[in-house]
Amino acid sequence: MQQSLAEKFYYLMKLGRVFELRAKEEYMKGNIGGFLHLAIGEEAVHVGATVAFEKGDIFTHYRDHVYAIAKGIEPKYLMAELFGKKTGVAKGKGGSMHFFEPSLNFYGGNAIVGAHIPHAVGMAYARKYRGENTGVLVAFGDGATNSGNFYESLNLASLWKLPIVFLCENNLYAIGTRIDRASAITDIYLKAKPYMMAKQIDGMDVFEVYKAVMEAKEYIQEESKPYFIEALTYRYEPHSMSDTGNYRSARELEIAKSKDPIERLKKSGLLSESYIKYIDDLVEKEIEEAVEFAKNSPEPEETELYTDIYCEVCKNVIP
């Protein structure tokens, strides 16, 4: 059990990381445009939580690549989306920040900090209303916890007794502003404590994240009450490709990297050398194929500009 989980974690974290490193490369080559927010360093949180929430609904912020991969969307459709291609997961209309796949219960990518938190609350209401109990998880950064959306959502989830897990990825920086310069309370789980069960965990340990989210999931399903997890983590990359990252010291980055979740898993003794090698090769190949797929995919037709805005079957509704 432990081993198969470890293998799964390793594959997904590696796939996520290689995907992002390759995305960075393609970005610099000019094949990907706009904003590109990388989650390198935070894979343990994204993968651990998503695997624990395999069947539930997941809402995320715009740093959504690894969540999408862990939720089961094939990397080639994600890479094609980054390339803005017709075959992308959102037909090239969303890009990096807007990965969605409702068939996999992935309601990902919102690019307004904190705006998706009430969406998750509403989803939890709907699930409860319909008697569906797979649970809802909403992931957001430490920056979002200073916004009104966050507090309004804590209040509503608690007031309405909704089955929802709030997962805060505390990577210490809201873009370039360190947490102690933006938040009066730096132990973020304390912000949620008056409303619901809340705890702080090590977000660089995929097993710990998985375990905590599993517990939270069981709790919300049984109690029909919300649950809050603060996962301490770190992103190695700057906020986005346009960010210099010069607000952090080299020393700080070095310390963080020493806790790298992938390296930590490799050292856990749960994985064989041969498995690691096998996965590394597999991932390289898969991502290479994804890039090829993306490159060779067609641009969306011009008519696509006007589709997916309004309902085309509206006429059926008109009396």
139 touches 61 (CB < 8 A): yes
Q: Which string of DSSP letters, residue by residue, matches 114-172?
A: TTHHHHHHHHHHHHHHTT--S-EEEEEETGGGGSHHHHHHHHHHHHTT--EEEEEEE-S
Closest to other proteins by CB, 126 vs 255, is 126
Residue 110 or 297: the one with the smaller Cβ distance to other proteins is 110
Rounded to a whole number of angstroms, the minimum distance from the CB of residue 95 to other proteins is 8
- Burial annotation 242-279 (CB, 10 A radius, 16+ → b, else e): eeeeeebeeeeeeebeebbbbebbbebebbeeeebeeb
250 vs 314, which CB is nearer to other proteins? 314
Please state the closest distance from residue 81 (CB atom) to other proteins, in A.
8
Virtual torsion, Cα 87, 72, 54, 151, nearest 10 deg: -50
Q: If DSSP states are collapsed to H, E and C, what string results for 226-278?
A: CEEEEEECCCCCCCCCCCCCCCCCHHHHHHHHCCCHHHHHHCCCCCCHHHHHH
44, burial (CB in 10 Å: exposed 0-12, middle 13-18, buried 19+): buried
Toward other proteins, which CB reaches closer, 126 or 282? 126
Closest to other proteins by CB, 113 or 262? 113
- What's the rounded Cα separation, in Å, for the pair 116 and 62? 10
Chain centroid offset of residue 308 CA: 24
CA 275 – CA 156 distance, rounded (Å)? 46
Residues at the site binding other proteins, with contacts judged by CB under 8 A: 57, 59, 88-94, 98, 100-103, 107, 109-112, 115-127, 129-130, 148-149, 152-153, 155-156, 159-160, 307-311, 313-314, 317-319
> What's the min distance (Å) between Cβ of 307 and other proteins?
7
Q: Smallest distance from the beta carbon of 177 to other proteins, in angstroms?
A: 20
Angle, CA 44 vertex, CA 284 and CA 48 arms, to 5°: 105
In the complex with other proteins, the residue whose CB is nearer, 9 or 62, is 62
Which one, 101 or 230, has the nearer CB to other proteins?
A: 101
Q: Tell the smallest beta-carbon distance from residue 36 to other proteins (Å).
A: 16
Cβ 309 to other proteins, closest distance in Å? 5
Rounded least distance, CB 153 to other proteins, Å: 6
- In this structure, the number of other CB atoms found within 10 A of the CB of residue 29 comes to 8
CA angle 87, 93, 96 (to 5 degrees): 85
- Minimum CB separation from other proteins for residue 203, in Å? 25
Q: Which is nearer to other proteins, 80 or 201 (CB)?
A: 80
Provide the minimum distance between the beta carbon of 206 and other proteins in the complex, in angstroms, as a whole number.
28
Q: Give 77 or 227: the residue with its C-beta nearer to other proteins.
A: 77
Angle subtended at Cα 213 by Cα 209 and Cα 215, rounded to the nearest 5 degrees: 120
